[in-house]
Structure 1
Amino acid sequence: MKATPRSVGASELQVHRLLADDVYGALDTRPTGLTETEAQARLERYGPNRLQEAERKPLTRALLANFTHLMALLLWLGGALALAARLPQLALAIWLVVVINGVFSFWQEYRAERATEALRKLLPRRARVLREGTVREIAAETLVPGDVMLIAAGENVSADARLVEETELWVDQSTLSGESHAVRKTAEQVTRAGLAHTELPNLIFAGTSVTTGTGKAVVIATGMATEFGHIAHLTGSMGEDLSPLQREIAHVTQVVSALAVGVGVIFFLLATLLGTMPLAQALIFSLGMIVAFVPEGLLPTVTLALAMGVQRMAARHALVKRLSAVETLGCTTVICTDKTGTLTQNEMTVRALWLGGRTLRVTGEGYAPGGTIMEGARVMRAQDDEELRALLLAAALCTDARVVPPEAPATHWTALGDPTEAALLVVAAKGGVDLERETARYPRLRTLPFESRRKRMSTVHELAGGRRVYVKGAPKEVLELCTHVWHAGRPHALSAPLRARIEAATDRFAAEGLRVLAVAQRDLPGDLELSVEGVERELTFLGLVAMMDPPRPEVAAAVATCHRAGIRVIMITGDYGLTAQSIARRIGILRGPGGRIVTGSEVDTMSEEALAAALEGDVIFARMAPEHKLRVVEALKRRGHVVAVTGDGVNDAPALKRADIGVAMGESGSDVAKEAADLILLDDNFATIVNAVEEGRAVYANIKRFTSYIFTSNVPEAVPFVLFALSGGRIPLALNIMQILAVDLGTDMVPALALGAERPEPGVMDRPPRRREEHLISPALLARAYLWLGPLQSVAVMAAFYSFYWRSGYAGSWFGVPDSGPLYRLATTVALATVVMTQVGNLFAHRTERLSILQRGFFSNRLAWAGVASELVLLAFIVYLPPLQRVFGTAALSPRDWLGVIVWAPVLLIADELRKLLARRKKGAV
């Protein structure tokens, strides 16, 4: 999908630098708007104002891919060979395996890409424009560059546009910027350099919404040329990467398939070249070897284990959209997290006040009015301190926000409007200011809204005998306008030493990561014009208000867990660097004295090598745009990291999709972010990511458990065919092919699934992430399955098989025992039952890696006992039901026969307990 160039080259024209009256000419339009003829011509030129849909992989191709991979082709061939060998029931069983695996895999991999569709839903369907001097409501899709668009509070913005008129206009563009507060918009020209496109105050963008005020703007970009379209292109143009688990399962498939085919071909050649058996018999024999070594139940068991991991994560407030993402979390090496709402509570809280040389501390959290203002150990109230009252009154009256109490059953106070202004209302309430009464005493006459150029806001109020202006804003800008300071109930001249003390207090608060506002006032002459230039001068300084968005209380412990687990945490935020750095130190992301702050504008100028070097040390990324965040993620992936990325806005969608694991916020996240992500945090909490990582590591460990469990039974399934071949057919097959399938696809399934539900062993988060080069099928796993437990199980099976013959009158004879007839059917049934019974011991042996099962607890995994019950019930059906006896070649066993089988059940468990004991002693654990 190609991105359309910007409709009229807004970037090249630099329309934000123009005076409002010059914008019309630059965009080839007029204040009365376009004519219908011009609008139609431009619609044909630029196309509809909508986002292109991402190209999707056809469902048929996605479905067929799951039936044509290497293991599937191997099983299709095996079924064909079985059919040629006149074993239709075997062919049907093998092909059924392919179908089941294909369906499971299809549902596992299938995830419709709807990020672009979600973006389209955010664009409004109707828009108000001026056409030929008349206000008209048109379909938003027919907006074109040059249209004069009208907007008002409560409306969404339909296209990117340059403001030419506005009245008290505030826009919520959090879907693009990631910052939660509304921003002031102006029609004035902007000549300041270094601002990102979305930071320009005279531009408005498609998909954002107007919170207050009205405006008139000239459209500069539509459809894919908008900022939304740019993000949609970044998101939709990226393909899906295979997860680490998907790559590992593909590797397992290749290894196992090659092993099975290789063993089958070798023994087929040996059987035919040595002349030990007829061609047809050799074919059946080699087919049995292939079936014995291919773990037909592995793929569906993996899928079911992942699904169970999804359920456990949901109970811990993490919603998984893609099954393979469960395990990806377990091998994550880097978490790139935003700040606001994830690491912090997204609730500005005043922490300190500075007035008259005194520093007061403020207690309490969030927007709830509970808390106090303290000077040392003394509680301060506005009615008892004139300086405090003046500061709190001015700060509270110079706001447009509201604080809303909770409604049952909710218990959380919320803010409407700017979070910073809400924090000022809360601290005033903590100091005892009755805002409702004070608002009635000092009614507002005029508002001079905040502007990025002035960096302050002013409100003019009426009071007995005159008017007063209250001003709040950036300390430097406000202090420059102050000539006096309020003390002892009246203004005093602001001396140079006191000015220096105020500046030092500001720097001290900033160093602590606090956002600082200065508050001032002035009593106005009666004939003064209420303009910015007229009222914002000769101010009286009242004090400083220092606030912060506090970290979530549980985040520091979660970050410490990440460090223990070898996971690096990198903060990438749209906020300012010093604030982000302070939060990072508070919660432990930055642990040393250093810590570099890299801004989005710096990333623009960095080479790949310079960015890689920055990522080597402690670094915080601030003021980041979507392209910057995406570039950081790609740089980390090139360095071999498995990257998890958190985000909540439209601006985060490209990075969420590009990451190995995209994590969206469930409460505050946009629909676009949720669609692009693999995991959704239902509580927007960073600690939940750490919980999910723990679950992911447990899932991978469990997959290794049941893989080893399944591989163990491959050995006793293969040994009868090996003995049959080496003896020239004189040692009869202890198991037939259908009985092998009964174990792989029947009795082993639920026990293997029980291992998939095993809780992690202690210390799972005290180890580093597994290396990318570490394969699921490791030498240790193969040794345990094929060289230790598998051979022991084979001895048990063959011993039970021959002991049955010996009890039946063939004592001491290896050769010459019946290879057909009722006695042979009973003997193979004994062998099958022994495989199942020894798998019971094998199940409990695989529940732990190093711990004794006595330490783990026999009954701590209830599903394990359900697995034992299921395999015994299924074995009973195969042994005693006549229809299944005919299919699997079994016969009913007597109680005496069962005694000869049951004695072998604990062999594998006892043997592996001894191995674990020796391993623990060797490592000094016991």
Structure 2
Amino acid sequence: SVSMLLVRLMLVMAPAVFAINAATKGNVIDALLFATSVAVGITPQMLPVIVTTSLSQGAKDLARRQVIVKELPAIQNLGAMDVLCCDKTGTLTEDRIVLERYLNTDGNEDARVLRHAFLNSFFQTGLKNLIDLAVIDRADVTPSAVVPDSMLGQSLRDRYTKVDEVPFDFSRRRLSVVVADAQGKTQMVTKGAAEEMLEICSFVEIDGIAQPLTDEKLAQIRKQIAGLNAEGLRVIAVAQKTNPRCVGEFGIADECDMVLMGFLAFLDPPKASAAGAVATLEAKGVAVKVLTGDNDRVAATVCEQIGIDASNVLLGSEIDALDDAELAERAEKTHLFAKLSPLQKARLVRVMREMLGHTVGFMGDGINDAAAMRASDCGISVDSAVDIAKESADIILLQKDLGVLERGIIEGRRTYGNLLKYLKTTVSSNFGNVLSVTVASLFLPFLPMSALQLVLLSLVYEIVCIALPWDTVDDAWTARPRAWDAASIKGFMLELGPVSSLFDIVTFAALFFVVCPAAVDASWSELAAAGDVAGMATFAALFQSGWFVESMWSQTLVVHMLRSPHLPSPRDHAAPALCVLTVLGLALVTWLPASPIADALGLMPLPTSFFGLLIGIVTAYIALTQLAKRRYIARHGELL
């Protein structure tokens, strides 16, 4: 967008400058070279360098804050993010799931439920998640009633062998393992989300005896599950079926007519820092939305404890019934989405981006988060995540903490702020210079500056701007999300660029009518009438030298004026590197007209009277720029 803006400006200004100078000066070659140099001058030549340096510096600063950047452009997206979608487990909670209870359907603790859950978790060959590990750990510390002086887990490892399994998937939300004991008895043991498990159970175990699952018992079980969920416990149901089949591979079709044995209740308490981090993100303009595959009641309990609105919950089954427009309307008002599949998470992210216009980040660490991370503007993972999540991420946190992410968001905004400073100040300054050149070309009998001088001036200015990535940024700038806005660059250019042109024209008049005539003891018209070629050459060189120096002073100092809404002061000053390069750049350009290479550059020493004029013009320019800056802020609400 910025490049197209500059190209359009070149296509208008460069031909105009060429036509005016060719017509008024009579030298087509000089006019073409000058117009070309004007086109080059419009371009922020250091834009690729400044962009890369800004992002690289931002990446270094983020690394010091425990945030590793894989894709540099993601830094700007991180600062622009206004919606953060995250999973519940590990992000908002302690990520240390503990098996609190193993209960039968009457609500009593029952070791048989734990024993069957262990067989399922231990013998399944997929990725063992936190729930599997919690079951195995609990069995390994629970005494076995089968073998004295041994643990339950150790006993079961030796007594059973695996026959087959039906892997977990996010639509069934359950996993089955078929095992056989030493006597040849075969069992299919299934565990999974409570609601999905109830769909495949036709029987319930009561006092060790399988009985039909009646509507009355089903209502009692649902009430039991709801009570556990209300305590913030995640409930997993366990069921089994003896001698499911004799031969052949097992599949999903075998998960039927199961006997419900009981439930596992897990606790994953909220992080102590989660509530504060969520409040800070909300204050920074980032809405936190929870997208989880967990039960809605458990997720709602956790959300309420940390300050996320859980009054309006959208379930995965409801999402499938909505088209994108309806989903967008619901998603805007909802902060908790539960019982989601990976594809539903990805769809939610896409809808919030494309239909609601949000810049969406997604923070996850599991296999089921990879698709949503890919669909987001900024995929965020953690160093302990599974490989596919880290591969899908743009940014990796070394600590699984929203507080770390908040610091990364602020750094992303700071990086973008410094990048925008360069673009806006440079484009507006270059636009002002082109306007000045166009006006001067209409009235001056010679070029206001040679092509070489114009390119050299632009080069020195760009080198000074290299230090901008290290500059500080106002707290007000980092207080809210900052999306890329090329249109604001155009407005900034058109409103503040002409201010420099006004003082350039004053400089032209002072040089042409006062400084140069005093230095050569004759006006331009007198030299032209006398045919004094040497005198006219000296007059033109003095004029070009004066504007060369004045332009550098005004163009460079305006960076310090426009980098912040405040006046430069001991409390609000540019970074030391920018201050040093500014002084060196001004000193170099001021010295060049009196240097040994002045002749080669078409420059010559300036009279002392010029420097008094320079101080007056620069002072007035700074004052008017401050007034224009205040007017711009009053109209647009902010400077950058």
Fold shared by both chains (TM-score > 0.5): yes
Query: Aligned residue for 1:888?
Result: 601
Q: Determine the structure 2 residue equivalent to 1:32.
A: none
1:74 corresponds to: none
Cα contact 1:709–1:842 (8 A) shared by 2? yes
Determine whether 1:717 maps to 2:428.
Answer: no
Contact 1:715 1:791 in 2 (8 A): no
| Cα deviation code 1:49-98 (max 9, x no counterpart) | xxxxxxxxxxxxxxxxxxxxxxxxxxxxxxxxxxxxxxxxxxxxxxxxxx
Q: How does 1:24-173 map to 2 (within 5 A)?
A: none
Secondary structure at 2:489 match in 1: coil
Q: Is the Cα contact below 8 Å between 2:352 and 2:358 reproduced in 1?
A: yes
State the match for 1:208 in structure 2.
none
Q: Secondary structure at the match of 1:319?
A: strand
Question: Which residue matches 1:587?
Answer: 306
Matches within 5 A, 1:405-444: 419-420=130-131, 441-444=149-152
Give the CA deviation at 1:868.
1.4
Structure 1 residue 666: Cα displacement: 2.8
For residue 569 of structure 1, give the secondary structure of its aligned residue in structure 2: strand
1:292-691 mapped onto 2 (5 Å cutoff)? 292-349=41-98, 419-420=130-131, 441-444=149-152, 445-446=155-156, 481=205, 483=207, 507-516=226-235, 547-589=266-308, 591=309, 593-599=311-317, 603-604=319-320, 606-618=322-334, 620-639=336-355, 640-670=357-387, 672-691=388-407
2:491 to 779, 785, 795: 779
Matches within 5 A, 1:155-304: 251-271=1-21, 277-304=26-53
**Structure 1 counterpart of 2:589, from 862, 875, 883:** 875
Q: Contact 1:456 / 1:473 at 8 angstroms: preserved in 2?
A: no
* Partners of 2:327 and 2:11 in 1: CA distance: 47
Supply the distance in 2 between the matched residues of 1:909 and 1:401 (Cα, whole angstroms). 75
Tell me the CA shift for residue 256 of structure 1: 1.8
For residues 760-802 of structure 1, the C-alpha deviation after alignment (integer angstroms, 9 at most, x for no partner) is 31233544554x7762414244312x13345345545764676
Is residue 380–residue 393 contact of structure 2 (8 Å, CA) maintained in 1?
Answer: yes
Instruction: Specify which structure has the higher proportion of helix.
Output: 2
Cα pair 1:705 1:846 within 8 Å, conserved: yes
In the other structure, the counterpart of 2:460 is: 746
1:510 offset after TM fit, Å? 0.4
Please say if 1:692 is aligned against 2:408: yes
Instruction: Kindly state the Cα deviation for residue 865 of structure 1 after the two structures are TM-superposed.
Output: 1.5
1:6-27 deviation digits (Å, cap 9, x = unpaired) = xxxxxxxxxxxxxxxxxxxxxx
Q: SS at the partner of 2:2? A: helix
- 1:628 CA displacement: 3.0
2:579 maps to a residue whose letter is W
Amino acid at match of 1:641: H
Looking at structure 2, the residues matched to 912 and 330 of structure 1 have their Cα atoms a distance apart, in angstroms, of 29
Cα deviations by residue, 1:450-499 (Å, 9 ceiling, x for unpaired): 999899999x9xxxxxxxxxxx999999x964559xxxxxxxxxxxxxx9
Give 2:555's aligned residue.
839
Structure 1 residues without counterparts, runs of 5 or longer: 1-250, 359-386, 403-415, 461-471, 485-498, 520-535
**Aligned mates of 2:302, 2:280 — CA distance in 1:** 17
Query: Residues of 2 paired with 1:393 and 1:720: CA distance?
Result: 88
**Any conservation in 2 of the 1:344–1:549 contact (CA below 8 Å)?**
yes
For 2:52 and 2:542, the matched residues in 1 are separated by: 36
CA RMSD of aligned residues (A): 5.2
Deviations 1:313-346 (A, max 9, x none): 2222222233332222333343332333333332
- Write the deviation string for residues 193-223 of structure 1: whole angstroms up to 9, x where unpaired: xxxxxxxxxxxxxxxxxxxxxxxxxxxxxxx
CA contact (8 A) 1:845 1:908 kept: no
Determine helix, strand or coil for the equivalent of 1:762.
coil
Q: Is residue 2:575 matched to residue 1:861?
A: yes
One-letter amino acid matched to 1:791: L
Q: Please report how far the alpha carbon of residue 914 of structure 1 lies from its aligned counterpart in structure 2 after TM superposition.
A: 4.7
Structure 1 Cα separation of the partners of residues 17 and 391 of structure 2: 51
Distance 1:747 1:887, change over 3 A: farther
Residue 736 of structure 1 deviates from its aligned partner by 1.9
Deviation of the 1:618 alpha carbon: 0.8
For the 8 Å contact 2:313–2:335, the answer to whether it is kept is: yes
3-state SS of paired residue (1:441): coil
- Partner secondary structure for residue 783 of structure 1: helix
1:577 shift after superposition: 3.3
Q: Structure 1 residue 265: deviation in Å?
A: 1.9
Aligned residue in 1 for 2:468? 755
Q: In 2, are the aligned partners of 1:798 and 1:831 still within 8 Å (CA)?
A: no
* Cα distance in 1 for residues equivalent to 2:305 and 2:613: 66
2:636, 2:548 → 1: CA distance? 38
Q: Secondary structure at the match of 2:487?
A: coil
8 Å contact kept, 1:715–1:794: no
CA contact (8 A) 2:383 2:399 kept: yes
| Counterparts of 2:272 and 2:433, CA distance in 1 | 55
Alpha-carbon separation, structure 2, partners of 1:296 and 1:453: 58
Deviates more, 1:325-334 or 1:872-881: 872-881
Aligned counterparts of 1:453 and 1:721: Cα–Cα separation in 2:
73
Displacement of 1:707 in angstroms is 2.0
What is residue 516 of structure 2 aligned with on the other side?
805
* SS of equivalent residue, structure 1 residue 854: coil
2: CA distance, partners of 1:815 / 1:548: 95
Where 2:316 maps in the other structure, the secondary structure is strand
In structure 2, relative to structure 1, the CA distance for the partners of 1:870 and 1:648 (3 Å cut) is: farther
Q: Which whole-Å CA distance do the structure 2 matches of 1:553 and 1:794 have between them?
A: 63
734 and 318 in structure 1: CA distance in 2 versus 1, 3 angstrom threshold: same
Give SS of 2:396's match: strand
Corresponding residue SS for 2:471: coil
Task: Provide closer, same or farther for how the CA distance between residues 921 and 675 of structure 1 changes in structure 2, counting only shifts above 3 A.
Answer: closer
SS at match of 2:449: coil
Q: Give, in angstroms, the shift of residue 741 of structure 1.
A: 1.5
Q: In the comparison of the two structures, how many residue pairs are matched?
A: 575
- For residues 546 and 583 of structure 2, the distance between their equivalents in structure 1, rounded to whole angstroms, comes to 19
| Greater displacement, 635-644 / 904-913 | 904-913
Amino acid aligned to 1:550: P
- Report if aligned partners of 1:738, 1:887 keep a CA contact under 8 Å in 2: no
Matching residue within 502, 511, 532 for 1:791? 502
Partners of 1:652 and 1:609 in 2: CA distance? 23
8 Å contact from structure 1 (residues 335, 645) kept in 2: yes
Structure 2 contact 431–493 (Cα < 8 Å) conserved = no
Query: What is the rounded CA distance, in whole Å, between the counterparts of 1:320 and 1:428 in structure 2?
Result: 40
* Aligned-partner Cα distance in 1 for 2:621–2:119: 73
The amino acid that maps onto 1:314 is: A
Shift of 1:516: 4.5
Equivalent residue number for residue 126 of structure 1: none
**Deviations along 1:689-748, whole A, 9 cap, x unmatched?**
433333333333323322232134325633553344322x43x43422222212222233
- 2: distance between equivalents of 1:352 and 1:393? 12
Select the structure with the greater relative contact order (CA < 8 A; seq sep ≥ 6).
Answer: 2
C-alpha deviation, 1:897, in angstroms: 6.0
